């Protein structure tokens, strides 16, 4: 099954309730080709539905995005973090540290809206309390 990026989020949302393994497998195989907007949309949709994907998908998403979070817009980072918070998952320390570094860079450069910055700050604080992972200002 081949899914285009433009259809991935829609397919994910429409099939979540039935949890079809083939859809997740297709999304997992194509994850490295997704743009930041695609990843952000999928995480936001999963969070909205409070429906976590299989662990393998999240682990691959973290692996694919840890080194390129700077390519995400502030809104995309905020939406991704919000979705993960709603799923009540604790991302790996390396991913949270990369997100914290990107958040700090954007704060210092005054990039992004206050809402996006607040969402990121809230996510990092939550994950810090859950696991004492990162130190943020």
Domain coverage including residue 82:
5-131
Residue 42 or 13, more confident: 42
d(CA 45, CA 109) in angstroms, rounded, equals 29
Q: Is 89 inside any structural domain?
A: yes
pLDDT digits (tens, 9 = 90+) for 74-123: 999 999 999 999 999 999 999 999 999 999 999 999 999 999 999 999 99
- Report the 10 Å Cβ neighbour count for 10: 12
CB 8, CB 42: distance < 8 Å: yes
SS3 assignment, position 31 = helix
pLDDT digits (tens, 9 = 90+) for 83-96: 999 999 999 999 99
DSSP 72: S
Q: Is 136 inside any structural domain?
A: no
Whole-model pTM? 0.80
Q: How many domains does the chain have?
A: 1
Work out the percent of the chain whose per-residue pLDDT is above 70. 76
pLDDT at 135 over 50: no
Q: Is 137 inside any structural domain?
A: no
Q: Is 96 inside any structural domain?
A: yes
88 burial class (0-12, 13-18, 19+ CB within 10 angstroms)?
Answer: exposed
């Amino acid at each position: 099954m081949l899914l285009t990026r433009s259809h991935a989020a829609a397919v994910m949302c429409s099939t979540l309730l039935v949890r079809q393994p083939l859809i997740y497998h297709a999304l997992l195989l194509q994850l490295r080709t997704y743009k930041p907007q695609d990843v952000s949309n999928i995480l936001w949709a999963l969070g909205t539905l409070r429906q976590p994907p299989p662990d393998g998908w999240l682990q691959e998403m973290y692996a694919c995005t840890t080194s390129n979070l700077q390519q995400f817009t502030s809104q995309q980072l905020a939406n991704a973090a919000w979705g993960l918070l709603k799923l009540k998952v604790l991302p790996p320390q390396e991913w949270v540290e990369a997100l914290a570094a990107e958040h700090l860079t954007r704060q210092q450069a005054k990039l992004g809206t206050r809402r996006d910055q607040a969402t990121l700050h809230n996510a990092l604080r939550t994950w810090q309390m859950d696991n004492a992972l990162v130190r943020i200002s």
